[in-house]
Amino acid sequence: MEDFCYSQENEKLKNELCSAIKDRGAFRRFKDLIIRYGLEEDWYAYRYEALCKIAREWCEFNGIEYK
């Protein structure tokens, strides 16, 4: 989530997202903001790519073929 926040070009939005993910209730605040700003699709695509990268790196590290 933090990397997604920092990837935003709009400084105001970036700061608002970064502030939202601090402390208790971070997931709810983050979700509310991505809905408010219409970033849901961007977030889910970003998350998907990040998870794929983690999986590929883990497979490579463990000598497992990745498809």
Residue 66 domain flag? no
Mean pLDDT, residues 32-49 taken together: 97
State how far the Cα of 25 lies from the Cα of 29, in Å rounded to an integer.
6
pTM above 0.85, yes or no: no
CA 59 from chain centre, in angstroms, equals 21
Instruction: Give the count of domains, the chain.
Output: 1
32 has pLDDT over 80: yes
Can you give the residue range of the structural domain that contains 38?
2-61
3-state SS, residue 23: coil
**If pLDDT is split at 50, 70 and 90, which confidence band does 3 have?**
very high
Residue 30 domain flag? yes
